[in-house]
Each structure stands twice: as structure tokens, then as C-alpha cells.
């Protein structure tokens, strides 16, 4: 298994978990976060965006990749910029190890 895929998957997984935790805060649903999630997922599905596919990963359930990409998109441009920067850094470091 490619270590880059392992690190990128861990980064994306943690980001998705941290994002979904924002739905329930202080003992109640965060309506703004639910709305942002809905918009992000709808946009991702409509555009066919799948971050796993973009990273060259083969997945068993392509639509799940689009939904999870929508969760990431729901956090906004700054968050995605940070995620993609981290992924780029992982790829750069991994190429130096080969």
C-alpha cells in the first residue's frame, strides 16, 4: 500500500469527522452547519466532485466519495485550501523519500 494514500486518507477522515462534530454543539443541532453541509453535498453531487478520485484512489462506492467531498466543501474555501496544502505537502515529502 502506498503510504501517501494512507496519510491522505487519515487527513481526510479526520477532517470529515471534525466537520460532522460541528452539527451538534452545546446540546442542540447547529442549523447553520446543517445548511452548510446540505449545500456542500448538493454542490459536490451536482458537479461530480470526488476528492478520493482526484487523489487517484479507487473506491468501491464512488457516490460516497462525492458525499464526503461535499462535507469537506461545506467548511469553505479556507478550510479546503488548508486541506489541499496539507495533502500537497504529504505528496512532496513522499516523493523525496523514494
Q: Contact at 8 Å (CB) between 87 and 11?
A: yes
Question: What is the residue-level pLDDT of the chain in tens, covering all 98 positions?
Answer: 577 788 878 888 898 999 889 999 889 999 999 999 999 999 999 999 998 898 888 888 889 999 999 999 999 988 888 888 888 887 777 665 55
State pTM to two decimals. Answer: 0.78
| CA nearest neighbour of 83 among 3, 9, 2 | 9
CA dihedral 68, 69, 74, 76 (to 10 degrees): 150
Amino acid at each position: 500500500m502506498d503510504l501517501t494514500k494512507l496519510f491522505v486518507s487519515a487527513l481526510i477522515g479526520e477532517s470529515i469527522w471534525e466537520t460532522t462534530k460541528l452539527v451538534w454543539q452545546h446540546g442542540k443541532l447547529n442549523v447553520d452547519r446543517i445548511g452548510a453541509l446540505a449545500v456542500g453535498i448538493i454542490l459536490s453531487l451536482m458537479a461530480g466532485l470526488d476528492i478520493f478520485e482526484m487523489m487517484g484512489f479507487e473506491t468501491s462506492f464512488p457516490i460516497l466519495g462525492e458525499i464526503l467531498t461535499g462535507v469537506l466543501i461545506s467548511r469553505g474555501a479556507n478550510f479546503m485550501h488548508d486541506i489541499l496544502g496539507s495533502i500537497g505537502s504529504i505528496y512532496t515529502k513522499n516523493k523525496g523519500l523514494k
